[in-house]
Chains A and B, each alone.
Chain A
Amino acid sequence: MKMYRVLSRVVCWAAFGVMVPMLGCADLSEPWQLNYARVLAVQATPPGVAPLQTTTLTALVFDGAAVREVTMTDVVVPAPFAALLLPASAPAVWQAADATVVARELAAQQVPAGEALVVPVTTSVTLAGVDGPLMGVKHVRVGVAAANPVAPAVLVDGVEQREVTLHAHQVVQLSAAGAPGLTYVWASTHGELKRAAAANSQLTATELGDGVLVVVVRDGVGGVAWTHVPLHVVP
């Protein structure tokens, strides 16, 4: 009844947040573990389109065995944006409307001058051997041209590598050289990653075998790029 209920509830909420990790949680897959098929990132090239400019939607997917770059074959633009982003020559290629339509739509959405209208595009692809379609939502920015960041180089203990070979139980420091302001996400089929959502990560080789090591970078405004290198863990 009183205002101090504000406090009791916030305290409870905070205390509960502390308690849950203390109780312990089930052994669930971590985002960095490549252990089943999924989309790792969807890239629009370019991520921002000026009037009449086209963009192509591709994705980095893990199909359960390997990482592949695929063209998204099913793309759906929500009805409110149907006049703004139009299908072009191929299912994965879309084109911004002409300048008059773009200006009208941006004005209708009260988008400030010089900024883009963000269109959420649902993409999916069906791969042989994978149950169901792999889906991902990509936000295409219409009205202002933009570019994806440059794919980063993968450095292992400070040395750039195009193929990584580790011995079992070996611990290495991973880093990705990219432009400032990017965020990084690492993923691997083998081993254990620490600080997988940072530019500098750590990989401990565990089980033997051949796999892949991936790093995806995002610029926070729709730009995305990735690098994946073969990973071998040997005795």
Chain B
Amino acid sequence: MARFLFIAATLGLIAPLVVQVPAAVADQASATDITVAVVVRDGATGQPLPATSIVVDGRATPVICDEAGRVTITGPRGAMLVLEHDGFDSAVVSIDGVTLDVALVRLAATAETIEVKANAPTQVAGAAKLAREELSHVPGTGGDVLAAVKILPGVTATSPFSQAASSGVVIRGSSPHDSRILVDGFDIPQLYHSIMQRSVIPSAAVENLEYLPGGFDVRYGGATAGLISVTTRGGGDKFHSTAEVSAIDANLVAHGPLGKRAHYMLSLRRSYVDAYLGALIPADADVGFVTAPRYYDGLLRLDYDPSPRWHAALTVIGSDDLIKLLARGGGENSTDLTFRQDTKFVRTIGSAIWRSADGWALNMGISTMLQGLAIDAGPDLHVNIDQALGAGRFELSKSMAHAAGLSDVVVRAGIEAFTDRAVIDVAVPRLAGEGDPNGGNFNADAPKVYYRGTLWLTDAGVWSAIEASLSSRIRMSIGARVDAFTRLGRYPVQPRAELNMNVTAVDKLRLAAGRYTRPPEDTDELLNTSLRPESAAQITLGGEHSFGNGRKLQLTVYDSERTDMLVRDANGVFQNEGRGRTFGLEVLGTVRRDRFFGWLAYSLSRSVRRDAPTAALRLFDYDQTHNVVVAASYRTRNQRWIFGGKLQYASGTPYTPVASAVFDSDRNKYMPVYGTINSLRTDARHQLDVRVDRVWHVRGGTVAAFLDISNLYMNQSVVQYQYNYDYRERGAIKALPIIPSIGLRGEL
């Protein structure tokens, strides 16, 4: 609480300072303001560009061009204007007369760039928004959307075969389970298919991806770190289809209009590695496939605009994975062991937005989900869970030009709730917690967790916030969220605030602070109803400077103080005894030209934990001091070739050394004696990924082929260390030396 008071006090101290500066500037400027008629055109066609956003030097709120690409603005002679329009390079011009005719340069049609639109829609420092075409051309990802987020500053670089990579995304020194990944506003249970690190949503079905590494709005709860929000693709006004085949799977996406007011998008994908993977494994190998891994996924989205004030959408997303392995008896196993994993889910999301003429807006979403999971790995290890879930979210807002002496006021209030029924039958080794040296080992000897029964879980949250411009340069948002974790009987209050300042037309400052909580509902945390939610107090300060000509630089510093973290006591029982802190700095620089794109992301961070009030500080499992990503791509003049490359360097992963081991004669097993937790690191990871796209323009469409090579110079980074039976010998489990990926895509 004291921490939060400090944050609030900091905001209180900063606000008067930053308000004074623009007020003086505004007073000075108003005496020389002139009225300027602006028209914005497509530089290639000369056609007007409606809805272009123009920010006048020092003002918080942009003005928007009308249908004819025109708008009238006022400002002092010499003031800078920043113009932005989706699909076009941003431009910076100055007022030098009563008319301005600006031509924007269109980004390449199949843009290979990764664009950070830090000023919209969110104002959080360090936030980014990436479009489908941008995501699917990141080298080293095989075109997979979620793999592409790992180039962002603040996202920890992990091996594609590490537990962290399988679990989600590590954002700003936090557990993957401290962040949420949303699809059309709701969680999905599974990010990746069981094999090949393919995300469950094909790139062609994604519209964009928004990245909020911290300091997010009160409308989001249940996370103490960051958010990644994926928006699925809506159908266009013309029929369009895309077919993509790779060595792993095939995907078909079709979208188009349904009458005058509706659109559809349908995506279907099926892996076919099962057709040949089994044949690649020798008959006498210790591991073989009974059923080779295969997956399906599908996505249907319908959009409907019954009137100009209403928009409704229905999304159905589903996935089905099956893998069955046979481990033949040998070595220490005297009998064959079968491993089967069968996961499936279907999530349905209905949403609607209504806007009135007088500034009211209602944003609604309801969702249901059915999910099944079956894992069978011998008589003492099985998981069978069937779930049914219902959720809803409603937010009402009112926009006002002026209210209570403030301008551009938006008042919002919302409510969300979900209820989940799960029929559970599990017998699994207890999962090692963060910081547990056994966490890196697949330890079948860990104490078992048994549960058989039906669990109900109901959580809810309410929030309210007010946004307003304090001056022509300053905009602030302040709000609070209250979550209701009914199973625990806990109702944490989470105040949050944001401050945005346009120092000049090309310089911005952003400050955000708030409290965030995560309920203890991960794995066997659920079985303990006396726990408190984990909590984090975050403060983020960021600056951004646009150099013009597509060059931009962002700098963000942050600090997150975590309390009530769950740690296991000596008996393996969860307690809220842990504390943690993460602080760091992020730099993002982009250079974007017509045919060239450059990206530099650097993260410097430190993430530490204290497992008990008197325990020593230790490094977090995924602490990563340095992470540098340099990426570039170039499109040839004839638009037929795209060459891209990405070089990444990241500090190694902390691990706990084994100091010695004691032989337990009766169990015929060596028990490790660990050294200081996370006191050593694996070697630094670095790799070069390259990608080449070749595009052929055929009748009414295009055919594109790509070759994506991950880890070109074959640096095998360490995933984790493995010890022999008595811990005297240690060997590194290394990532694959090189991963080529080829694919073919046709578009009509």
Query: Which A residues have a C-beta under 8 Å from some C-beta of B?
Result: 1-31, 36, 38-39, 41-43, 59, 122, 135-139, 183, 185, 194-198, 216, 218, 220, 222, 224
For A195, list chain B residues within 8 Å (CB).
329-331, 333-334
A137, B166: Cβ atoms closer than 8 Å: no
- Name which residue of chain A comes closest to B193, CB basis: A15
- Determine, out of B504-512, B552-560, B657-665, the stretch whose residues face the partner at the interface: B657-665
For the A-B complex with A5-B189, A26-B730 known, give 8 more contacts whose Cβ atoms are closer than 8 Å: A1-B221, A1-B222, A8-B167, A20-B442, A31-B725, A39-B665, A136-B663, A222-B666
Q: Which one of A2, A41, A42, A198 has the greatest number of beta carbons of chain B within 10 Å?
A: A2
B733, A24: Cβ atoms closer than 8 Å: yes
Instruction: Take A7-B371, A136-B665, A197-B332 as given contacts and tell me if A2 and B389 are in contact as well, using a CB distance cutoff of 8 Å.
Output: yes
A194, B189: Cβ atoms closer than 8 Å: no
B663 touches which of A7, A29, A36, A135 (Cβ 8 Å): A135
Instruction: Take A20-B442, A23-B161 as given contacts and tell me if A1 and B223 are in contact as well, using a CB distance cutoff of 8 Å.
Output: yes
Instruction: Take A1-B459, A5-B521 as given contacts and tell me if A137 and B665 are in contact as well, using a CB distance cutoff of 8 Å.
Output: yes
Measured CB to CB, the closest approach of chain B to A35, in angstroms, equals 10
B163, A13: Cβ atoms closer than 8 Å: yes
For A20, list chain B residues within 8 Å (CB).
161, 442, 719, 722, 733
B375 at the interface (CB under 8 A from A): yes
B385, A42: Cβ atoms closer than 8 Å: no
A2, B329: Cβ atoms closer than 8 Å: no
For the complex, give the distance between the alpha carbons of A9 and B162 in Å. 13
For the complex, give the distance between the alpha carbons of A195 and B336 in Å. 11
B734 at the interface (CB under 8 A from A): yes
1/0 per residue, CB under 8 A from A, across B706-734: the answer is 00000000000001001111101111111
Measured CB to CB, the closest approach of chain B to A40, in angstroms, equals 9
B166, A15: Cβ atoms closer than 8 Å: yes
Instruction: Take A11-B194, A26-B732, A29-B725 as given contacts and tell me if A2 and B163 are in contact as well, using a CB distance cutoff of 8 Å.
Output: no
Which residues of chain B from 112 to 167 have a CB within 8 Å of any chain A CB? 161-163, 166-167
B428 at the interface (CB under 8 A from A): yes
A16, B166: Cβ atoms closer than 8 Å: yes
Report, nearest first, the 7 A-B pairs whose CB atoms are least far apart.
A26-B731, A1-B222, A198-B334, A28-B724, A4-B189, A42-B665, A12-B166
For the complex, give the distance between the alpha carbons of A185 and B725 in Å. 13
Q: Which one of A11, A17, A24 has the greatest number of beta carbons of chain B within 10 Å?
A: A11
For the complex, give the distance between the alpha carbons of A18 and B330 in Å. 17
A15, B341: Cβ atoms closer than 8 Å: yes
For the complex, give the distance between the alpha carbons of A136 and B726 in Å. 12
B722, A25: Cβ atoms closer than 8 Å: yes
B167, A135: Cβ atoms closer than 8 Å: no
Q: How many residues of B contact A (CB 8 A)?
A: 76
For the complex, give the distance between the alpha carbons of A42 and B730 in Å. 25
For the complex, give the distance between the alpha carbons of A3 and B167 in Å. 15
B518 at the interface (CB under 8 A from A): yes
Measured CB to CB, the closest approach of chain B to A78, in angstroms, equals 13
A6, B526: Cβ atoms closer than 8 Å: yes
A7, B731: Cβ atoms closer than 8 Å: no
For B521, list chain A residues within 8 Å (CB).
1-3, 5-6
For the complex, give the distance between the alpha carbons of A1 and B190 in Å. 13
For B287, list chain A residues within 8 Å (CB).
21-22
B422 at the interface (CB under 8 A from A): yes
A5, B177: Cβ atoms closer than 8 Å: yes
Instruction: Take A1-B222, A2-B418, A5-B177 as given contacts and tell me if A137 and B668 are in contact as well, using a CB distance cutoff of 8 Å.
Output: no
For B728, list chain A residues within 8 Å (CB).
29, 36
For B329, list chain A residues within 8 Å (CB).
195, 198
B187, A26: Cβ atoms closer than 8 Å: no
Instruction: Take A14-B341, A16-B163 as given contacts and tell me if A25 and B731 are in contact as well, using a CB distance cutoff of 8 Å.
Output: yes
Measured CB to CB, the closest approach of chain B to A116, in angstroms, equals 13
B325 at the interface (CB under 8 A from A): yes
B352 at the interface (CB under 8 A from A): no
For A42, list chain B residues within 8 Å (CB).
663, 665
A2 touches which of B161, B187, B341, B431 (Cβ 8 Å): B187
For the complex, give the distance between the alpha carbons of A1 and B422 in Å. 15
For the complex, give the distance between the alpha carbons of A138 and B431 in Å. 28
B375, A14: Cβ atoms closer than 8 Å: yes
B519 touches which of A1, A11, A28, A39 (Cβ 8 Å): A1
B371, A4: Cβ atoms closer than 8 Å: yes
B105 at the interface (CB under 8 A from A): no
B522 at the interface (CB under 8 A from A): yes
For B167, list chain A residues within 8 Å (CB).
8-9, 12
B383 at the interface (CB under 8 A from A): yes
B736 at the interface (CB under 8 A from A): yes
B457, A2: Cβ atoms closer than 8 Å: yes
For the complex, give the distance between the alpha carbons of A31 and B163 in Å. 27
1/0 per residue, CB under 8 A from A, across B724-748: the answer is 1110111111111000000000000
A4, B665: Cβ atoms closer than 8 Å: no
- Name which residue of chain A comes closest to B736, CB basis: A23
B373 at the interface (CB under 8 A from A): yes
B665, A138: Cβ atoms closer than 8 Å: yes
B343 at the interface (CB under 8 A from A): yes
For B177, list chain A residues within 8 Å (CB).
5, 9
A9, B373: Cβ atoms closer than 8 Å: no
For B418, list chain A residues within 8 Å (CB).
2
B665 touches which of A7, A22, A25, A224 (Cβ 8 Å): A224
For B662, list chain A residues within 8 Å (CB).
122, 135-137
For the complex, give the distance between the alpha carbons of A216 and B735 in Å. 38
Instruction: Take A25-B722, A29-B725 as given contacts and tell me if A16 and B442 are in contact as well, using a CB distance cutoff of 8 Å.
Output: yes
B428 touches which of A10, A24, A194 (Cβ 8 Å): A10
For the complex, give the distance between the alpha carbons of A105 and B734 in Å. 51
A139 touches which of B330, B666, B719, B723 (Cβ 8 Å): B666
B666 touches which of A196, A197, A224 (Cβ 8 Å): A224
17 contacts across the A-B interface (CB closer than 8 A): A1-B518, A1-B519, A7-B190, A10-B426, A11-B194, A12-B166, A14-B375, A15-B195, A16-B166, A18-B323, A26-B730, A26-B733, A27-B731, A138-B665, A195-B329, A195-B334, A198-B329
B189, A14: Cβ atoms closer than 8 Å: no
Measured CB to CB, the closest approach of chain B to A154, in angstroms, equals 18
For B375, list chain A residues within 8 Å (CB).
10-11, 14
Instruction: Take A2-B420, A3-B457 as given contacts and tell me if A11 and B729 are in contact as well, using a CB distance cutoff of 8 Å.
Output: no
B389, A7: Cβ atoms closer than 8 Å: no
B339, A18: Cβ atoms closer than 8 Å: yes
B523 at the interface (CB under 8 A from A): yes
